[in-house]
Structure formats: C-alpha cells, structure tokens
Amino acid sequence: MNTIEKALMHGLFVHLHHNIDKVIDFKSFQELNRQVGKIWPEALLIGPEKNDDAAVFEIPGMKGYVVAKMESHCSPCVPRPYDAAATGAGGAMRDVVAMGGRPVFLLDFIGTRPLDQEVLVGPCGFSGKCTCGKCIVMTSQERVNLMVKGLKDMCEAMDVFIVGGGFSTSFSDIVPAVVVSVIGKLVTEKPLTKPAKNAGDKIIIIGVTGNDGNDTLYRAGIVKDMRPAIALFREERIALEAALAAFGTGKIKACSDLGAAGIGAAICESARYGKLGARIDLSGVPVSVPGITPQETLICETQGRYVVQTAPESVDEVLRAVRSLTDNVAVIGEITSDDKEVFEFNGEVIAVIPNNPSKEMLEALKS
C-alpha cells in the first residue's frame, strides 16, 4: 500500500466514521423497527441497517417521504469552531440531498466547558499549549458564539430553518460537542440509494475541489496537524441547486455527497455496496487550487460537492441541467464490473482500493 491508499483504506475499513455498524448493533434496531412496522406498515423506507447517507421514512397520514440525517463535527471545532460547525451543518444537509431530498429544518446540540473557562482555539488546541503562535485563547462562551454563528450562517445560505436543539456546559474534555440533525423532503420519485447500480454507468462530479480538509489523513496518522475543511456558503448552495437540477432529469441512479475522505470514500463505498468497481480519472476533476496534487484531489474534503451516476446515454442531458447553474461539473469515470476502485491521473495509477481487503491489509492499517 502506498501512503494515500493506506489513508483512504484506514478511513473506509478501520475508522468508525465509516464503520458505525462495528460498534452499534443495527440488527437490534432492525428487529425493533420490524416490530414497530406492524403498527405503521411501510412507514420506514430506509433505516440504519442500510448504512446509507440518510434515513427515508413516511409520517403516517402525511403525503410524501421525509429524509433525515444526524451528524457531529466535534473534533474539527478545536482548531476551527466556526468553519467546523458550519461544515457539520452543511454535511448533514448534503446527506439529505444525496438521498434525493431538499433540506428544510435543522436541530442542533452544543456541549462545552463552563462558559467562563478558557479554551485554546487553533492548530495546537488538542495539546492544550500553543507552540505554533497561531492559536487564540478565548472563553468557552466566545467559542460557543462562533459555533452558533457557523450553524446560523450555513442555514441562512441554504434557506434552512433552525427549529430547536439542546445545550450543555457540563463537558470537561478539550473537544466540544457539535451535533446537528437535518430534516428534509424527498423530491425524487424514489430515494437515490448509495449502491452503484450498473457497470458502464458514468460518474459525474458536481462542485469544485480544493486541498482543504485533511481529517482522513490526520486520523490515519499521516499528517501531524488537523486542517478542517473551510465552510463554503455560496458554493454549497450552488451545488445543492445543481444536484437538484440533475435529479430533475429523472436520470440519476445514485448520488453521494463528498464529505469525509472526499472523492475516494464516495466512489469506493458506492461501488462496493453495489458489488461493483469503478475507474476514475482524477485529472478531469474541477479544482480551485493551482498545483493541487492527485492525492489531495482524491482524499481532501472540500465542501459543496456531489457525485452522481447515470447511464451513458443520459450524460449530455444531466450535464446540460447542471450547467444551467454551474460550470463546475465533469464526467470523471465509470462504474465497472471489477471488485476494486482504480484512481488514475493522466494515465498514472494513484491508488487501487479493493472491495475486500485481505486480513493482512487490515492488520497493517491498524498498526
């Protein structure tokens, strides 16, 4: 494994962000939901055992389906509380969109130290002592104000209500809690479930990629300092509307938002869940940073991006719909019948990610 393969595979197969089912008994939830389903038949369309981007359900007596997602952005609030809170909200909104929904409501929870205590905000925040000269000492109240502003600004950019939440000052850890729940309405005929559907389908990226957001590299132990993604409010809204325009063609088979581990995770999970593979040309990805490396393009976590899948004959129609709102769209690859995902840049293979890593590979990732 090269460095970028190790980082991406660590995120996909080891880190709990992508492996919640290793610590949460989804089968017990499934059994519970089956029992409740006897009272409310067919109310739950997509539950936690599907491991998809968001839940999809019907409220009995109401027309249409609801899409809902809860997400935390706790650790990134240590170096960048404003951006982390905003991108946490934006990420949950994108998960709703990825299922074919439009986000409408948000609830948030913030947990922090007592409001008069001092906190260190910046790159050295996790160590509690600044050695870089770039950190800021502020009160817990001042940090809360930044996090609240981040949530509010993202909701304002996306026309999403803030309808409630919770707050606690009983936290004693360096890391505060920022948790959001986003609720929206399904606007597609049926949910755009994550698994890839057919070999030969084309993969289209919506949005522009930068080199911000290195959480996956940090968690894999490859970089020393966490550099959370920067909140991109205008770009987030444009990508939302562009994705919905693509959905309006009725030709989108699957959609994923690009959050943790970026393009790499979105493509690998979709292909693997569909028992298929993928081949991606990273040189076709629209980028905002001159000189960005292929590795950064693959794994960095710039906000406001989606990948959608469509049949080859529908590509032009989907591109026209997206280009009515943004030029940041490109065909970057296709689904294959293979059992791995291959990422290339100008003909050079950058990373190969197997759908079923060997035991030896998994052990190496944990070391």
Pairing outcome for strands 101-111 and 161-168: parallel
For residue 224, the model assigns a pLDDT of: 77
Calpha distance 53→76 (Å, rounded): 21
| Total of domains in the chain | 2
| Per-residue model confidence (pLDDT) at position 312 | 98
Domain closes at, from 123, 158, 190: 190
Strand order across the 161-168 sheet: 44-46, 55-57, 66-72, 177-186, 101-111, 161-168
Residue 335 has a pLDDT of 98
Indicate the pTM of the whole model. 0.95
The answer to whether residue 328 is domain-embedded is: yes
pLDDT at 260: 87
Residue after which a domain boundary falls, among 190, 222, 245: 190
Q: Do residue 94 and residue 220 come from a single domain? A: no
Q: Are residues 263 and 144 in the same domain?
A: no
Residue 219 confidence (pLDDT): 74
Domain that holds residue 330: 1-19+194-367
| C-alpha triplet 94, 337, 330: angle, nearest 5° | 45
In a domain, 35, yes or no: no
The reply to whether 68 and 172 lie within a common domain is yes
Stretches in the chain below the pLDDT threshold 70:
none
- Cα torsion 155, 306, 274, 185: sign: positive
Q: Is residue 30 part of a domain?
A: no
Domain boundary among 190, 218, 250: 190
pLDDT value at position 165? 95
Number of Cβ atoms within 10 Å of the Cβ of 41: 8
Q: Are residues 223 and 339 in the same domain?
A: yes
